[in-house]
Amino acid sequence: MTVKLRGPVVVVVCATLIAACGSTRAAHHSAAAVRSAAAVARGGTAYWAEQPLEPPNYIFPLISGAYYTNENVYDFQTLMYRPLYWFGNGNRPGVDYSLSLGDAPVYSDHNRVVTITLKRARWSNGTPVSARGVIFWINLLRANRADWASYVPGGFPDNVVSYRATGPRTVRLRLDRGYNPVWFTDNELSQITPLPMAWDRTSSSGCHSNSGCPALAAQPDATPAGARAVYAFLNARAKRVSGYASSPIWQVVDGPWKLAQLTADGRATFVPNKLYDGPDRPRLARFVELPFTSATAEFSLLEAGPARGGQGGSQAQISVGYVPDTDAPQAAALRAQGYRLATVYPYGFDYFEPNFNNPTAGPVFRQLYFRQAFQHLVNQSGWIRAYYQGLGVPTYSPVPAQPANPYADAQAHTNPYPFSVSAARRILAAHGWRVRPGAITSCVHPGSKRGDCGSGIRQGQQLRFTLMYPDGMSYTDNAMVDLQSVARQAGIELALKQVTAATVAAQIEPCAPHMAACSWQLGQYGSAWVFAPDHYPTGEEIFQTGALGNVGSYSSTAIDRLIRASTTSPARDAQHTLNAYANAVRLALPDFWQPSPGTLETFQANLAGTTPNAYGYLSPEEWYFTR
């Protein structure tokens, strides 16, 4: 997301990505060698700086859109409850089977049957992570689709005809058709989080200790009504944030960490799960997430220097933090204080949305030539230099070129609409507009013939729009002001509307032209679309007609066909169909591309194992102090 938001020959997915899978194994062997060679100081406390948005406030992995935030999922839940498949080996995208609960899935019957085999693992109450726990998850998901943030109609679990456990650690799914196995693994199986059977209950009766609750003999999740009741119980308990650390429900974990404390302001303290038997067992004694009311508050503590004493110390100084964009010039001073610095980019793309259904602006936005002209006014490289402190990468495609990945082709690095005010003027003038630089351009040739303004655009209609964007980010503020100034040179008037991030999220939603909620025209979220938990970079969640993440209501039958091809092609055609989709979208401009900002992260010099994850997953179990 982000969202909110992709005969009997047997195919193993890893074989389709030989380079990625091979590098994953090599990287972990290399990391193990480094750890064995280094003087590892076991124990200590590492303090990690939370972004100043929302503290963790939802613990149950089956999470609705209302709670789906990075803070809840990637910085909190996955520390305790592991998804079936782990994605990202350091900053390299792709599935990492060495860190996954499941072996590589096996596809058969023309990719209509998927067999999943779990590795041996156990919950902290001593029970095994089992095939029945996978069935439990699917049962809850099928009965509570509307409460799953990553649900796409027709997608998982709708595309699963039947599913059953064929052994204690084996699950077999029969699908409604054959699918691209890379896509199905990365975007559908990626949604599965095995659950402990201790959670299969509709009340707290029998729940008596932190070692876990015995599963109810009736297994209520086995019926739709029972699965709805189980979800209602767990969802209600997940809303009792103050009780997380003491609840015997949430203390049953299969991840490397258990929650020891969560304060009202969002300070989360984790301790190692002593029964965790997966890879990268924690070396730290504690891991603490520190909340901040603002980026300024975080940087003030960062400037105080890393914790002293070699192992994190006892005071809440920052071991891993970030530099606000306005403070990037202080990088040298931070290095002098004992921090390592690294620039991290998300595996996604950044954009702002036109509302194709706005009754006034929609007819203009639906003209491809207008979108092309407007994209020529976005000075991506100039914004990166002037406003992003150099910490940004341009966006030219829905398949990101950075970080390096096996999915992007050469076109992902090429700008099809380079910055050019003169090009924007020429395009508008060639399509029936009287271009008035410094004033307002208007339509003088309405109609649908060649050289006309286009269907739905009236005589004298002006190019005047409102652009909504969130406050609190200086690079966004400056970029939007620059866009306003540049657009004026082509006779386009942009009224900037700066609001809170919550207002943006509430108002930039899909709508019908007759709805009052369709008054927004251009919107910018202030955050990138990141491919998680759907990791294969297809567009069914954001560009497909009717998708929940398609907030601008873009619709193209040609793009819809290409998306379907990218999700259903056999493995041998996967890259070809993905390239076809990506190159069509990059030219069609269902949204306007803008640079993706990087984050300048800081690391205490003697804290090792801190390579950031390409999808943003937090992995403090890999961290350790060196002497």
Give me the domain span that covers residue 623.
40-57+255-344+599-627
Same domain, 102 and 214: yes
Q: Tell me, what CATH number does 329's domain have?
A: 3.40.190.10
What is the spatial distance between Cα 295 and Cα 49, in angstroms, rounded to a whole number? 10
Q: Are 199 and 139 in contact, with CB atoms under 8 Å apart? A: no
Spatial separation of the C-alpha atoms in residues 194 and 86, rounded to whole Å:
13
| Last residue in a domain, options 204, 237, 270 | 237
User: What count of other Cβ atoms lies within 10 Å of the Cβ of residue 59?
Assistant: 25
| Claim to verify: residue 370 and residue 411 sit in the same structural domain | yes
Nearest to 592 by CA among 349, 355, 351, 348: 351
Could you tell me where the beta strands, DSSP code E, fall in 84-211? 87-89, 92-95, 106-108, 113-117, 160-167, 170-175
pLDDT at 336 over 60: yes
446, part of any domain: yes
Q: Which amino acid is at 618?
A: L
Q: Are residues 200 and 262 in the same domain?
A: no
Using CA atoms, how far apart are residues 531 and 538, in angstroms rounded to an integer? Answer: 9
In a domain, 66, yes or no: no
- 73 in a domain, yes or no? no
In angstroms, the CA 608 to CA 610 distance is 6
Residues 294 and 188 in one domain: no
6-37 tens-digit pLDDT: 233 333 333 333 223 322 323 333 344 444 44
Give the least confident one: 7-11, 28-32, 49-53, 530-534. Answer: 7-11
pLDDT of residue 547: 83
Residues 463 and 546 in one domain: yes
Looking at the fold, whether 506 and 443 belong to one and the same domain comes out as yes
Q: Examine residue 244 and state whether it is found in any structural domain, yes or no.
A: no
**Is there a single domain that holds both residue 50 and residue 110?**
no
| 286 and 161 within one domain | no
Q: Say if 64 falls within a structural domain.
A: no
Residue type for position 370: F
Query: What is the predicted pLDDT for the residue at 502?
Result: 77
Q: Say whether both 172 and 51 belong to one domain.
A: no
The first and second tokens of residue 301, run together, are 């503590």
Residue 62 lies in a domain: no
Specify whether 521 is located in the same domain as 453.
yes
Choose one of 207, 237, 267: the last residue of a domain: 237
How many structural domains are present in the chain?
3
Q: Is 4 within the bounds of a domain?
A: no
Out of 265-269, 331-335, 486-490, 564-568, give the one with best mean pLDDT. Answer: 486-490
pLDDT at 153: 84
pLDDT in tens, 399-426: 999 888 889 999 999 999 999 999 999 9
Judgement on whether residues 388 and 537 belong to the same structural domain of the protein: yes
- Helix ranges (H only) for 118-274 are 131-143, 181-183, 224-238
Q: Is the peptide bond before 403 cis (omega within 30 degrees of 0)?
A: yes
pTM comes to 0.84
CATH of the domain at 578: 3.10.105.10
- Whether the per-residue pLDDT at 376 is higher than 60: the answer is yes
pLDDT of residue 308: 61
134: three-class secondary structure by DSSP = helix
Model confidence at 315, in pLDDT bands (50, 70, 90)? low
Q: What is the pLDDT of residues 581-605, one digit of tens each?
A: 999 999 999 999 999 988 899 999 9
Residues above pLDDT 90, as percent of the chain: 71
What's the CA angle centered on 281, arms 170 and 120, to 5 degrees? 15
Of the three residues 183, 207, 237, the one that is the final residue of a domain is 237
67 within domain boundaries: no
For residues 532-539, give the mean pLDDT: 88
pLDDT value at 533 more than 90? no
Pairing of strands 45-49, 286-290: parallel
Are both 195 and 317 inside the same structural domain?
A: no
What is the reported pLDDT for 2?
38
